[in-house]
Copies of this chain bind each other. A is one copy, B any other.
Amino acid sequence: MAKLMYRDAIRNTIFQEMQRDARVCVLGEDVVGGMGTAGGPEAIGGIWSTSTGLYDAFGADRVIDTPISESAIVGAAAGLALAGKRPVAEIMFADFIGVCMDQLWNQIAKFRYMFGGKSICPAVIRMPCGAGYNAAAQHSQVIHQFVTNMPGLKVVMPSTPEDACGLLRQAIRDDDPVIFLEHKFLYGMSGEVSDDPDFCIPFGHARLARAGLDATIVAAGMMVGYAEAAADELAKDGIGCDVIDLRTTSPLDEETILDSVEVTGRLIVVDEAPPRCSLATDIAALVASKAFASLKAPIEMVTAPHTPVPFARELESAYLPSPAKVAAAVRQTLSYR
């Protein structure tokens, strides 16, 4: 075990997988940082520091700095994967999915199906996402609600450095395409990370981050920490919550959710996305259709409002879910008889 930041867990995992498997390659804007400048390659080394040192170690063929052309990046990842490589592409902000969604949704996601099962497309698309930096409406969004809807994609939302490592290694070794959503606010989070070079976390298995009998809180990525904080707060008042960290939203670990709700009878879903056609509604609908008999109270959803992400500090913090909002939702559901 080593103490690592989330961003370094990601960088190290990519590094190790590139060392282990010559098919793994990296591409994206400024992933080398400094190409064509006096400072030279690696002058910056990736704006998120998630690719530092890769170029020096593996060279320009396998660490491909690209122009500002997201469609070409994801499309190239698609082609690399179809041609036998294992690309790990970075889209600098998940918000830029707007200019490259076709390659994710109509190409990468669908190849295997359209081609009758005769292809593999082991591409990983990493997308830093989420709010919290006052980066306003076009640099603060989450997009798991879109990609979870897309058959053919796997969707990963690590909430800790350990999970970032184990899930990313699984993503790179997985033969299916994976959308890997890193919350920007977690990059600086520290935690113990396994140093087993084969440490993988299988997809579709949620993590029980807190255990309790009174209510079930479901969250993923950045929201897990808020759910945990709320649960810890509520524990002081003798309220026990299961906190389920989904880890992957597609595949979804339905069983862990349903089992928990069967015990608690109360569900709170926490989601940074706007409320409509979202992961929050997805989990709520799952429970309302498959654990209806166990439900003792209306399902609570703690989400962003149906607005873009605002800029000013006061606005953004009012916009986002928070431990306090989660705790209030838990109390709300418990107040229902």
Question: Which of A's residues lie within 8 Å of B, judged by CB?
Answer: 71, 95-99, 101-106, 109-110, 113-114, 136-138, 144-146, 148-152, 249-250, 252, 273-274, 276-282, 284-290, 292-293, 295, 297-301, 305-308, 310-311
CB neighbours (8 Å) of A293 from chain B are 298
- Partner pick for A149 among B102, B105, B276, CB 8 A cutoff: B276
Q: Would you give the shortest CB distance from A156 to chain B, in whole angstroms?
A: 15
Q: How many Å lie between the Cα of A292 and that of B71 in the bound state? A: 44
Q: Is the pair B273, A149 in contact by a Cβ cutoff of 8 Å? A: yes
Apart from A277-B281, A280-B285, A282-B285, list 8 A-B contacts with CB within 8 A.
A110-B308, A114-B138, A149-B274, A151-B274, A277-B282, A289-B298, A292-B297, A292-B298
Q: Is the pair B308, A285 in contact by a Cβ cutoff of 8 Å? A: no
Q: How many Å lie between the Cα of A99 and that of B279 in the bound state? A: 24
Q: Would you give the shortest CB distance from A206 to chain B, in whole angstroms?
A: 16
Q: Would you give the shortest CB distance from A262 to chain B, in whole angstroms?
A: 13
A300 touching B289 in the complex, CB below 8 Å, given contacts A113-B137, A277-B281:
yes
A114 touching B297 in the complex, CB below 8 Å, given contacts A277-B282, A288-B287:
no
Q: Would you give the shortest CB distance from A228 to chain B, in whole angstroms?
A: 23
In chain B, what residue has the closest Cβ to A147? B277
Q: Is the pair A277, B278 in contact by a Cβ cutoff of 8 Å? A: yes
CB neighbours (8 Å) of A249 from chain B are 276
Q: Is the pair A289, B308 in contact by a Cβ cutoff of 8 Å? A: no
Q: Is the pair A114, B308 in contact by a Cβ cutoff of 8 Å? A: yes
